[in-house]
Amino acid sequence: MRHRALTGFLFTLVVAALPLAAGANPDARSASEPTAPRPAEPFRVLTLNIQLDGQERLPALIDLIRKTQADVVGLQECGSSARPIAEALGFGLVKQDDDRAILSRFPVLGTTPARQGALIMTPGGRAVAVFNAHLYYTPYQPYQLLGIPYQGAPFVSTAADAIAAAESARGKDVREMLADVATVDPRAPMIVMGDFNEPSHLDWTARAARAKRHPLEVAWPSTLAFERAGFTDSWRALHPNEIADPGFTWTPNTSVTDPRDHHDRIDFILARGDRLHATHVDIVGENALHAQIVVSPYPTDHRAVLTTFEIH
């Protein structure tokens, strides 16, 4: 399915026009005529890294998506598998690049100029801008801080060094996505999801360091940049206690006590806009200890995140 790219100007016009019903003329209404508020619509969004194109695991990955009843899916590491997954689900497909894709049950009006996001129309006529990220994977700073060898990266020992390394690895990706976000009318409900390959500043807190959950407090720059741009982390908004509700997405493939790994939350669904409210967030994973939605055997190396929003 081909989708035309929308320039920033056109994208703004489309979004600004959508709150009105087709053909409506607001000036034609009597001043005394009551305007009934439209009921809120549910909007279910899933982020899922399918691990190295899914390969022989495609049937299980398709079943996982069906089980979540997601309306929109952000896939990472999807390569050539995005199209067969979309076709099996009956979803529209926006192939962002060789690594990422956005799948939608609802009509797609177009893509943002840099193809980082897509404008999706709900059945109730609301437009939502959805962005899907896969930030660069190496060096991985939790491993660097914990002395876990990975990709030949040097070890670091301070929060400042970890932040500098994260900015060097992913800062360009973040700036490019935020530049594309800036092409969208700021009134539009907006979602950014994906595999950040970096933890959250909301998780690596002083309290988490005292509890030995993480080795020290780190203000991770990627999630912080999106927070400063007005985005709210849906998981942490509904699960504010980072100790009681860690929400680990990395990884279902090792034990939490494995000294060669460090379990963490690196997959996110972020939202911006006063007409978009997260009502429920689930981790999708291998067992009830680590996930609210259980899929067994679990077919990939990241747990997925599913957020249910209400759009007003």
Q: What are the domain boundaries of the chain?
A: 46-311
The reported pLDDT for the residue numbered 27 is 40
The reported pLDDT for the residue numbered 29 is 41
pLDDT digits (tens, 9 = 90+) for 96-133: 999 999 999 999 999 999 999 999 999 999 999 999 99
The reported pLDDT for the residue numbered 38 is 80
User: What separation in angstroms does the CA of 309 have from each of 14, 167, 249, 278, 279?
Assistant: 22, 30, 20, 4, 6
The reported pLDDT for the residue numbered 32 is 52
Within 10 A of 310 (CB to CB), how many other CB atoms are there? 15
Question: Would you identify the CATH topology of the domain 46-311?
Answer: Deoxyribonuclease I; Chain A (3.60.10)
Report whether pLDDT(23) > 50.
Answer: no
> What's the whole-model pTM score?
0.91
Percent of the chain with pLDDT over 90: 87
The reported pLDDT for the residue numbered 9 is 38
Whole-number Å distance between alpha carbons of 206 and 109: 44
Question: 119: which 2 tokens?
Answer: 């404008």
Residues 6+ apart with CB under 8 A from 241: none
User: What b/e readout covers 165-184, taking b as 16+ CB neighbours within 10 angstroms?
Assistant: bbbebbbebbeebbebbebb
